[in-house]
Amino acid sequence: MTDFFMGLGMSYEWAWFVATVSGILLIAFPLMLAVALIIYVDRKVWAAINLRRGPNVVGPFGILQSFADGLKVFLQETIIPSAANKGIFLLAPIVTFTVALAAWAVVPFGPEAVLADINVGLLYILAISSLSVYGVVMSGWASNSKYPFFSAMRASAQMISYEVSIGFILVCVVLWAGTFNLNEIVLAQKGHGLGFINGYFFNILLFPMWVVFFISSLAETQRVPFDLTEAESELVAGYQTEYSSMSFALFWLGEYANILLMCTLNAILFFGGWLPPVDWEPLYAVPGIVWLLVKIFFFFFMFSWVMATVPRYRYDQLMRLGWKVFLPMSLIFIFVISGYLMATGHFA
Amino acid sequence: MIQTLAFYLFAVLTIGSGAITILARNPVHSVLWLILAFFNAAGLMVLVGAEFIAMLLVIVYVGAVAVLFLFVVMMLDIDFAELRAGFVKNFPLGMLVAVVLLAEIILGVGAYRAGALQLGTPDGTASAAVGLSNIEALGALLYSRYLFLFEAAGIILLVAMIGAIVLTLRHRPGVRGQNVARQVYRRAEDATINTRPEVGAGIKL
């Protein structure tokens, strides 16, 4: 993109600056639009599984419902509790939202379509997604209220627990791909299964890791079986209890941007990212971003499906699953996978 | 140019947020400023070309250690009058620590002037291992030359972890835990019986 702007007669520095800013806007604006629509999809899928109609009033098929909600929230008054710690109270939604957007910088949407093609892309995503807990913890503490505080404590314990196993799963993928660069991880999956299936999921050693990763990503984004931080039956609305208006909307947008990011990670790490599902020449005529979007949408459907199907975990069950099941399992798989790769001479 | 600008930005923010960490009255604010300091330190690491270390700094310190800090500090009920009373009592100790730190800074400046240590420069031209990425270079060193030290560090951490678990482990009798395997293996036949009792006779359970 820098070359394109240099072609318009700019100097290199200016072209680089304009290219970077427009790249950021090219990711952020469609992402916000996608979040608004994906909330609608979430509610529709949920409603369909519950045999309800879901949103169907605003616009055709109710598709503008999220925009109506956004407008409503935008016009409301921002209420700051008098006992709240004002600075941190206002900072918390901003942190959540910023962190949810920042991680998208390294996501490859196509062979060339990536904002920052850095060597440590996967570590960058891990680092940024580990920050998302701060939004919850800060809002919980700054609200100076019982329920948000409980929510903050639950969130910090939960996120740390599941990040450990996510880290080990990523190590398995990195061992196989031999790189931390997301684009190269995608390329390494080309024809991985039986020589024609693009994706690490078609691999007897990595498929269990994908299952664990999928469940961990539900826990990491605090989706339904693990939504203890906003368990409405116990904690009102968890850390969002004291928030109103735009500050509430920022939490909302950030949460769904995080969910989309986790769906994208599932697609990139195990299902071949922007590659078509099978390594067959005509399929490459379709642009890579279409395949990636289809996969993201598929995983988001699975997220919604889980939300409509299963009940919430109890806190001790959550901890048990994270520390006593997923952690030993992913550790064992690291040993098995590195042993297999050594034995077959993958590293040579 | 932009590297120099970024260096001064990160450096000033690191020192500034470090200073506010110790000056802030509220311990939760202190931890949050400490997190900002960690973050800017990671930025400095990126500038010298150590992007792997930078990411690890964020993942380990910001993502895990500081969360635990915050977790503990949030629940503290701190009496500020008591803290200030301790200030005079601990003053000599504080001075001692300050002297040690000052000596370290002077030593550091001396070492920098001697020019023996070549890590990298603020303008982004790092003297990295030739032809190797950051992670490959680190791995090649850790798993060959420093293998023993690396493993020893792992063992020490393991021992510390086991120690912490042993210290806090209590066996409480009479706790009704959940045995998931038993629940999963339980079948309907084990739990229910289907009988046809006579009227007034009842059944034996």
Closest CA to B158 of A331, A195, A293, A213: A331
Mean model confidence pLDDT for chain A: 86
Convert the pLDDT of each residue in A54-88 to its tens digit: 888 888 888 888 888 888 888 888 888 888 888 88
Question: How confident is the model at residue B131, as a pLDDT?
Answer: 65
Convert the pLDDT of each residue in B127-163 to its tens digit: 555 566 778 778 877 887 788 999 999 999 999 999 9
Evaluated on CA atoms B155, B161, B166, B172, the torsion sign reads negative
Question: How confident is the model at residue B124, as a pLDDT?
Answer: 47
User: How far apart (Å, rounded) are the C-alpha atoms in residues A338 and A175?
Assistant: 7
Interchain contact, A127 vs B74, CB within 8 Å: no
Mean local confidence (pLDDT), A309-313:
87
- The 3-state DSSP class for residue A197 equals strand
Question: How confident is the model at residue B84, as a pLDDT?
Answer: 64
Report residue A193: phi and psi, to 5°: -90, 115
Interchain contact, A88 vs B56, CB within 8 Å: no
Q: How many CB atoms lie within 10 A of CB A70?
A: 19
Structure tokens at A341: 């790769």
Question: How confident is the model at residue A301, as a pLDDT?
Answer: 92
Q: Report yes or no: A307 and A148 within 8 Å, Cβ to Cβ.
A: no
Confidence of residue A345 (pLDDT cuts 50, 70, 90): confident
Q: Is some CB atom of chain A closer than 8 A to the CB atom of B24? A: no
Q: Is some CB atom of chain A closer than 8 A to the CB atom of B11? A: no
Which residues 123-152 of B have a C-beta within 8 angstroms of A?
133-135
Instruction: Spell out, as residue ranges, where chain B has pLDDT lower than 50.
Output: 123-124
Q: What percent of chain A clears pLDDT 90, i.e. is strictly above it?
A: 12
Interchain contact, B29 vs A88, CB within 8 Å: yes
Residue B112 CA: distances (Å) to CA of A326, B45, B120: 46, 17, 12
Q: Report yes or no: A55 and A44 within 8 Å, Cβ to Cβ.
A: yes
Mean local confidence (pLDDT), A108-137:
84
Question: How confident is the model at residue B160, as a pLDDT?
Answer: 95
Structure tokens at A345: 């001479």
Whether domain B1-78 has CATH 1.20.120.1200: the reply is yes
Domain enclosing residue A85, as ranges: 76-344
Convert the pLDDT of each residue in A125-151 to its tens digit: 888 888 888 888 888 888 888 888 888
Convert the pLDDT of each residue in A20-42 to its tens digit: 888 888 888 888 888 888 999 99
* pLDDT higher than threshold 60 for residue A288: yes
Mutate to test the interface with B, among A131, A161, A163, A164 (most CBs of B within 10 A): A131
Mutate to test the interface with A, among B59, B60, B179 (most CBs of A within 10 A): B59
Q: How many CB atoms lie within 10 A of CB A8?
A: 9
Structure tokens at B163: 């120690």
Residues contacting A148, CB < 8 A, separation 6+ = A139, A140, A141, A235, A238, A239, A240, A241, A242
Number of domains in chain A: 1
ipTM over 0.85: no
Chain A residues in contact with B28 by the CB 8 A cut-off are: 85, 88, 141
Report residue B169: phi and psi, to 5°: -75, 125
Question: How confident is the model at residue B159, as a pLDDT?
Answer: 96
Chain A residues in contact with B35 by the CB 8 A cut-off are: 134
Tell me the whole-structure pTM to 2 decimals: 0.83
Residue A1 CA: distances (Å) to CA of A87, A105, A117, A286, B138: 39, 15, 13, 21, 33
Tell me if A68 is assigned to some domain: no
Tell me if A259 is assigned to some domain: yes
Interchain contact, A156 vs B70, CB within 8 Å: yes
Interchain contact, A127 vs B71, CB within 8 Å: no
Angle of helix A146-177 relative to helix A121-142, nearest 10 degrees, comes to: 170
Tell me if A31 is assigned to some domain: no
Distance from CA of B5 to the nearest CA of A (A): 15
Convert the pLDDT of each residue in A204-220 to its tens digit: 888 899 999 999 999 88
Q: What percent of chain A clears pLDDT 70, i.e. is strictly above it?
A: 98
- The 3-state DSSP class for residue A193 equals strand
Residues contacting A5, CB < 8 A, separation 6+ = A14, A15, A18, A19
* pLDDT higher than threshold 50 for residue A44: yes
